[in-house]
A and B are shown apart, each in its own frame.
Chain A
């Protein structure tokens, strides 16, 4: 499964959900869906904006975890 480490990166960048959602241009509700891993996918444009604002790489936000482990 793909784990979303957005809250960790947000803590490191010291940014609130409301501010991040506003800067990315999505609703706080959609950001919450993304953070909780309920989203079915993420657009490259959204990922690019997140990486730009949080000064990180896509790999810092998305992590692959083997289900068997």
Chain B
């Protein structure tokens, strides 16, 4: 059982690194495409206007706003994965109710809340542009937003458990 737990924690730790790399690539992709949107010229610009702006009734400003929103989502997801890895690593080292875990869970809670809010915005963007999301990262419906809200609620419960556990641990540490 101990080996299984260690294996699962190690696997989660590796998965968070993989996710961080993927989200970083996503961030660079969005930054690159946002910059390219303003510097393309010639036939590429005509194609961009024809297939992207005209078909979705969009402006460059709207796309820029959507790009910034996507960058915020990716940045929040990177912070979430980084914090999750630190919590998992602490748990692997048998450090449960420590200040570091409480802080990282708080960071995760804030990041996931930001992701949820930005996803609500992206959902409106996709609806107004009459396009569907290309990636699973961005929401397309209220049901997906609902799942995010449930996830935030679960994270908040975990945060409260760790906060109470941390207080108990501090109390226990001062009993000699």
Residue from B171, B174, B175, B176 with most neighbouring chain A CB atoms (10 Å): B176
Q: Mark B150-176, 1 if CB is under 8 A from A, else 0.
A: 000000000000000000000100111
A10-29 contacts to B, CB under 8 A, are 26
In the complex, whether A57 has a CB less than 8 A from a CB of chain B is no
The residue of chain B having its C-beta at the shortest distance from the C-beta of A34 within the complex is: B176
A25 to chain B, nearest CB (A): 11
In the complex, whether A40 has a CB less than 8 A from a CB of chain B is yes
In the bound complex, residues from chain B placing their C-beta under 8 Å from that of A65 are none
> Please, how many angstroms separate the alpha-carbon atoms of A42 and B171 in the complex?
12
Q: Which of A26, A31, A41, A46 contacts B174 (CB 8 A)?
A: A41
In the bound complex, residues from chain B placing their C-beta under 8 Å from that of A42 are 175-176
B28 to chain A, nearest CB (A): 48
In the bound complex, residues from chain A placing their C-beta under 8 Å from that of B175 are 39-43
The residue of chain A having its C-beta at the shortest distance from the C-beta of B174 within the complex is: A40
B106 to chain A, nearest CB (A): 25
In the bound complex, residues from chain B placing their C-beta under 8 Å from that of A30 are 176
> Please, how many angstroms separate the alpha-carbon atoms of A39 and B171 in the complex?
9
In the bound complex, residues from chain B placing their C-beta under 8 Å from that of A41 are 174-176
In the complex, whether A2 has a CB less than 8 A from a CB of chain B is no
A41 to chain B, nearest CB (A): 4
> Please, how many angstroms separate the alpha-carbon atoms of A31 and B176 in the complex?
8
> Please, how many angstroms separate the alpha-carbon atoms of A46 and B174 in the complex?
13
In the bound complex, residues from chain B placing their C-beta under 8 Å from that of A43 are 175-176
A53 to chain B, nearest CB (A): 15
Q: Could you show 21 A-B contacts with beta carbons less than 8 Å apart?
A: A26-B176, A30-B176, A31-B176, A33-B174, A33-B176, A34-B176, A38-B174, A39-B174, A39-B175, A39-B176, A40-B171, A40-B174, A40-B175, A41-B174, A41-B175, A41-B176, A42-B175, A42-B176, A43-B175, A43-B176, A46-B176
